[in-house]
Amino acid sequence: MKNIHKYYILPASPEEVYTALTNPLTIELWTDSAAIMVAEPDTEFSMWDGSITGKNLAFEQNKRIEQEWYFGSSTEKSIVTIKLHPHKKGTSAELSHTNIPDDDFVNISEGWDESYMGSLIDFFNL
Instruction: Give me the half-sphere count of Cα atoms (radius 13 Å) on the Cβ side of residue 77.
Output: 9
Count of the separate structural domains present in the chain: 1
68 belongs to a structural domain: yes
Q: Which domain holds residue 46?
A: 2-95
47 belongs to a structural domain: yes
75 belongs to a structural domain: yes
**pLDDT beyond 80 at 47:** yes
Question: What are the pLDDT digits (tens) for 73-118?
Answer: 666 789 999 999 999 999 999 999 999 989 889 999 999 999 999 9
Question: What are the pLDDT digits (tens) for 51-85?
Answer: 999 999 999 999 999 999 997 766 678 999 999 99
64 belongs to a structural domain: yes
Q: What SS3 string covers the chain?
A: CEEEEEEEEECCCHHHHHHHHHCHHHHHHHHCCCCECCCCCCCEEEEHHHCEEEEEEEEECCCEEEEEECCCCCCCCEEEEEEEEEECCEEEEEEEEEEECHHHHHHHHHHHHHHHHHHHHHHHCC
Question: What pLDDT does residue 59 have?
Answer: 98
Question: What pLDDT does residue 105 have?
Answer: 93
Q: Could you count the other beta carbons within 10 Å of the beta carbon of residue 122?
A: 10
114 belongs to a structural domain: no
65 belongs to a structural domain: yes
Q: What is the model's pTM?
A: 0.94
Task: Report the alpha-carbon distance of residue 52 to residue 67 in Å, rounded.
Answer: 11
Mean pLDDT of 43-48: 96
Question: What are the pLDDT digits (tens) for 4-38?
Answer: 999 999 999 999 999 999 999 999 999 999 999 99
Domain harbouring 85, CATH code: 3.30.530.20
